[in-house]
Amino acid sequence: MKRFHVHLGVPNLAASIRFYSQMFGTPPAVEKPDYAKWMLDDPRLNFAISTRSGHSGLNHLGLQADSAEELATIRDQFTAADAKATVDEPDAHCCYARGDKHWTQDPQGIAWEAFHTLESIPVFGASDTADAPIASACCAGTAQGSPVAMPATPRSCCA
C-alpha cells in the first residue's frame, strides 16, 4: 500500500519539530540536525522537513512504494499522466536513506517523487563505500529557478 509523501523546507528545524510533533501527536520517527521525518499511519503519510533546500515551504510531493513492483506501477502512472519527463534515479543515496526513485513534474511545475526505500544510511547522501556525502542536489529543488521544480540532476531526493 502506497504512502503519501510531503517534504517541506523550514528555516527553524527545532521550532518546526515542536509544532509538527504536537500537531501529529507524536515525535518524528527520524530526527537529524538538518532533517526530521514522521511516518504516520492515520493518515498514511511520510511527512519530512529539512533545512537543506534553502527556502521555506513546499519542496516536493511524492508517493512511497512498499515494493519494487509498486514503484514500477507508479512510474508507469507518471508516464501515462503525460508528464513533462520522468527522471529515473536507481540506488539513490539521500535524506539518510538508500532507495530507487523516479521524478516527474506536474503541469504547475511541482516536483513529484516516487520511491522505494531499501535501507537507512548514517549520513545525508552518503554512498555505500564511504560516509562522505556524494555530489547531490538532494531536496534542493532549484532546477529552472523554481523552489519546487523537478531535480535537474540524478541524486536529487528526499525520502
Confirm if 125 and 136 have CB atoms less than 8 A apart.
yes
* Averaged pLDDT for residues 138-144: 41
- Summarised one tens digit per residue, pLDDT across range 78-111 is 988 875 688 999 988 877 778 999 999 998 889 9
Q: Pick the more confident residue, 146 or 21.
A: 21
Work out the pLDDT band at 55, boundaries 50, 70, 90. confident
* pTM listed for this prediction: 0.74
ω into residue 43 within 30 of 0, thus cis? Answer: yes
For the cut 80, the answer to whether the pLDDT of residue 32 exceeds it is yes
Q: Are strands 44-50 and 57-64 parallel, antiparallel or unpaired?
A: unpaired
DSSP codes of every residue in 55-68 = SSEEEEEEEE-SSH
Residues near 145 by beta carbon (within 8 Å), at least 6 away in sequence:
none
Say what the pLDDT of residue 123 is. 56
108 vs 105: CA distance, rounded Å: 8
Work out the pLDDT band at 130, boundaries 50, 70, 90. very low
Confirm if 87 and 74 have CB atoms less than 8 A apart.
no
Kindly list the domain boundaries of the chain, sorted by start residue: 3-145
Helix, strand, coil shares of the chain, percent, nearest 5, are 20, 40, 45
Say what the pLDDT of residue 133 is. 36
For the cut 80, the answer to whether the pLDDT of residue 151 exceeds it is no
- Three-state DSSP state, 108: coil
Q: Pick the more confident residue, 151 or 154.
A: 151
Q: Pick the more confident residue, 149 or 37.
A: 37
* Averaged pLDDT for residues 48-73: 93
Superfamily of domain 3-145: 2,3-Dihydroxybiphenyl 1,2-Dioxygenase, domain 1 (3.10.180.10)
